[in-house]
């Protein structure tokens, strides 16, 4: 079986995963000059760092171009999709694709992919803003590149 990727809330993960990400961040920012310094600052072993370093990473890394695909369940009401698009655009998400199914039983599935280079909100803020739109029934991350 090949690799599978999941988006998981860090609150339910063993602490080692978040510590490896913290160590990688120290290395990236230069706050630690080498792996030994980074793992010592964070309080993990070098072997744990090496075991997980290529397998765990933050959902969103600002210094890399990413494409995120989000699935929505939207009420079949005038302007709902427009408000979703406006919310993504106002956060500086560069929309690449929009796929909308024909509404069925008063709701439609919509998939939107967008680049995240210039997104100026945290993911929590953006998802909260999207969930707050009247007519948005569900917001779900489908994938990222």
pLDDT digits (tens, 9 = 90+) for 57-83: 776 554 455 889 999 999 999 999 999
Query: Can you tell me the mean pLDDT for 10-30?
Result: 89
Give 129's pLDDT tier (boundaries 50, 70, 90). Answer: very high
> For position 55, what pLDDT does the model report?
79
What H or E segment, with its residue span, contains residue 86?
helix 80-90
Residues 20 and 79 in one domain: no
Give the mean pLDDT of 127-139.
95
Tally of domains in the chain: 2
- The backbone torsions φ and ψ at residue 58, rounded to the nearest 5 degrees and listed phi first, read -65, 150
* 3-class SS of residue 75: strand
Asked if residue 73 and residue 42 are part of one domain, the reply reads: no
Chain Cα centroid distance, residue 127: 10
Task: Give the count of beta carbons closer than 10 Å to the beta carbon of residue 133.
Answer: 19
pLDDT over threshold 50, residue 1: no
Q: How many CA atoms within 13 Å lie on the side-chain side of 128? A: 5
**What is the model's pTM?**
0.59
Domain that holds residue 34: 13-52
**CA–CA separation, 31 vs 37, rounded Å?**
9
Task: Clarify whether residues 73 and 134 are in a common domain.
Answer: yes
């Amino acid at each position: 079986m090949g690799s599978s990727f999941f988006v998981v809330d860090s609150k339910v993960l063993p602490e080692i995963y978040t510590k490896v990400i913290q160590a990688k961040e120290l290395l990236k920012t230069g706050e630690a000059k080498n792996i030994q310094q980074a793992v010592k600052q964070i309080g993990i072993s070098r072997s744990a760092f090496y075991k997980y370093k290529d397998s765990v990473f933050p959902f969103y890394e600002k210094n890399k171009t990413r494409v995120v695909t989000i699935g929505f369940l939207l009420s079949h009401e005038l302007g709902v999709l427009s408000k979703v698009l406006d919310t993504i655009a106002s956060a500086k998400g560069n929309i690449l694709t929009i796929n909308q199914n024909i509404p069925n039983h008063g709701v439609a599935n919509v998939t939107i992919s967008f680049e995240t280079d210039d997104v100026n909100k945290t993911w929590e803020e953006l998802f909260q803003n999207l969930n707050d739109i009247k007519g948005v029934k569900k917001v779900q991350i489908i994938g990222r590149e």
